[in-house]
Structures are given as structure tokens and as C-alpha cells.
Amino acid sequence: MYQMLDHTDISILKILQENARLTNQEIAEKLHKTASPIHRRIKRLEDDGFIKRYVAVLDPQKIDRGLMAFTHVQLKDHSKDSLSLFEQAIIRLPEVLECYHMTGMYDFILKVAVKDLAAYHEFLMHELFGIMAIGSVQTTLVMKQSKHEGAFPITIPQQPFPSAHKTD
Amino acid sequence: MYQMLDHTDISILKILQENARLTNQEIAEKLHKTASPIHRRIKRLEDDGFIKRYVAVLDPQKIDRGLMAFTHVQLKDHSKDSLSLFEQAIIRLPEVLECYHMTGMYDFILKVAVKDLAAYHEFLMHELFGIMAIGSVQTTLVMKQSKHEGAFPITIPQQPFPSAHKTD
DNA sequence: GTTGAAATACAGACGCG
DNA sequence: CGCGTCTGTATTTCAAC
């Protein structure tokens, strides 16, 4: 089991989700603390697995990935072979940013990023439709992204025994 | 207009998308260079807007966001008022990680992260269904994520005049 | 949570190819 | 024009308090 997070930990995680390039000292100033304890806390958050990794966010437009689409896929059947065949094939496609195995109407939802509609057509024809397990595909295109990705809202996991002695 | 990316820039971007915590020196070793030019190139990639920001990726399970859902929304009508009303309301909901305005069958696709099904029910009943502009909603739940998010595939944007004198 | 010291990385300068 | 060596500065990191 993992340690409980206190209010300072939550604040650190929120800050790091927005901007992981801040120095410990800058984070410390925001929280009215000093760099050392911030550093220890971040190290612990990493070691305990709360922070999985740090990534750079690129501008899709500038690297010719300006068109994003959600591709909803139904397989021909739900055999174990079809599922693993599909997943194996999808993982190799660079246009597929994310692949989710879903409950409900669709078997998979893919988040796809390509240069333009021509490139998406190319992707469907030469990549996706070549996968044998595919039954039907429905596409919706992203016109506008209203909320940016990546940041999870953080609340304190159920805290049955609030510590009365937190110096924070 | 922005500068063209060469092979070293592409490599740097790929590395930084996977692990933004590597030091310039570590990146330099991977690319058989020294830290100085790497540092200069990263600075330029930031200044030119290729790299928008750096973020920490958290473990959804550990912060009680283990259930992810895609919520497909159709509005009652497509008036300008309905659209902006919906977007304004959505932005305030912490459970909504991403919000896309779509073409096609649905008006919006929301990526929602909550603790469990009970929390999702709560989210629908007390948050989403409270928005007046909402027409209908269809949910699919994520059972498994096959491909991780965030990393764009990078190719060299159309290179009409390949430089013959690249020292790289 | 604080202080202080050593190791390391950053962010310029400069000269070289 | 980009690379590499060098330099001062800031930051990280680890110790003891």
C-alpha cells in the first residue's frame, strides 16, 4: 500500500502536471517552503509511482500532425485471436496516438493524428483497412480542442484518519 | 515561418517526448554529440514553439482516477449560445480531462476520468446532465489502454531542397 | 523543515571546421 | 553556420542538524 498524500503533495503534483520544468526552488516559493523538502517530496512521489514519467508536449501543427480524429472500430468477431491481432497491428501504426479497448457500442476507440484529410484517407485505406480483424469503422474529426490533455484532477484519496499533527 | 528540422532535431524531439528528464549530456551521448549543441537545439525548439511545455505524467490509479470513459455528447441544438454554454460549463468540470468539438455523429467527445462507476454515475447525474444545452449522451468505458498517450510520431516536414552540406 | 557543501547541469562566451 | 571546449552561475542532491 502507498503512503497518503497531504496537501503539499497534491499541490506539487498539480504544479508538475502543468509545468514540469519549474525548479524545486520555484515550486518552493509558490508553496511558501524551501527547495529541500520539495525535492524530498518529489523524489518520494517518483519512487512511490505517483509520477510515472516526464514528457515534452509538442505542437501538433508544427510537426505536420494538425488533424486529429477519433476512429471508432468494431471487430468482425470477439475471438481472442481477433483482439490480439488487432492490438498488435495497431501498436505498429505511428498515426495512432492512443488505443482504448472499450465496453459498449464500439470495441476500440483510436485517437489518430495525421497531417490532413488526405493523410487520414491514406491511413484508413492503406493501414487500418488492411487489418483482417476489422469489422466496421466510424470516424469523427476534431474541429477544436476545448480542454488540454494530460492533467488529472487530484483529490486526496479517502482519508479515514486525518492526522492531527501535520505541521503543514 | 519556422526553421526546418534536421535529423538531430527529430531525434531530440522523440527522446524528449519519451523522457523529458534526461540531461543534455545523456541526450548528447545517445546522439554521439556533446551537451552544448543539444542544449542550443532544445532552446531553439522551445523558442520556435515546437516544444510547447513539459509535464509530469501521473498514475491514474494512485490518485483515484482509475476509471476512464469517453462520453459522446449531442447538443439540443447548434446555436452559438448552446455551444458556448456547453463549453463554458465543461471547462469547469475537473473530471473532464479533454473536450473535443467534433464533426459527424456527435457534437463533443469528452475524455472523463473518475474513481469508479459510482463516481461516473455521480458525474453524469450531478454535473453533465445539469448543463441545459445537453441533448443526449452516450458513454463507453475504457477497459484497457493499449497505447500510451502523448507521443506524436515525428517526420520531417516536406523537405523540397534537401541540404547536401549537413555536417550531421 | 532547515542549513550548508559537493556534484552536476545549465547557459553563455570563444575559436574551429 | 553548426560543433566542441571552456567558464561562471544556478540547481540539484545529499549529508547532518
Query: CA at A26, C1' at D11: how many angstroms apart?
Result: 11
Residues contacting residue A34 through CB under 8 Å, at least 6 positions apart: A28
Digit-coded pLDDT (tens) for A83-135: 999 999 999 999 999 999 999 989 999 999 999 999 999 999 999 999 999 99
Write down the residue that cell numbers 453524469 correspond to: B124
Residues contacting residue B145 through CB under 8 Å, at least 6 positions apart: A98, A99, A100, A101, B68
- Contact flag, residue A136 CB and nucleic strand C, below 7 A: no
Mean pLDDT by 10 residues, chain B (168 residues): 77 92 92 93 93 92 93 95 94 93 95 96 96 95 86 63 43
Digit-coded pLDDT (tens) for B61-107: 999 999 999 999 999 999 999 999 999 999 999 999 999 999 998 99
Residue B120 touches partner A, C-beta closer than 8 Å: no
Cβ–Cβ < 8 Å for A155, B115:
no
Q: Which of A131, A2, A33 is nearest to A76 (CA)?
A: A131
Query: CA at A167, C1' at D16: how many angstroms apart?
Result: 21
pTM confidence score? 0.86
* Residues in chain A closer than 8 A to B144 (CB atoms): 100-101
Where does chain B have alpha helices with state H? 7-18, 24-30, 35-47, 80-91, 117-122
Instruction: Say how far apart CA B69 and CA A132 lie, in whole Å.
Output: 27
Q: To 10 degrees, the CA torsion angle through B129, B94, B102, A114? A: -160
Distance from CA of B167 to the nearest CA of A (A): 23
R_g of chain A, CA atoms, integer Å: 21
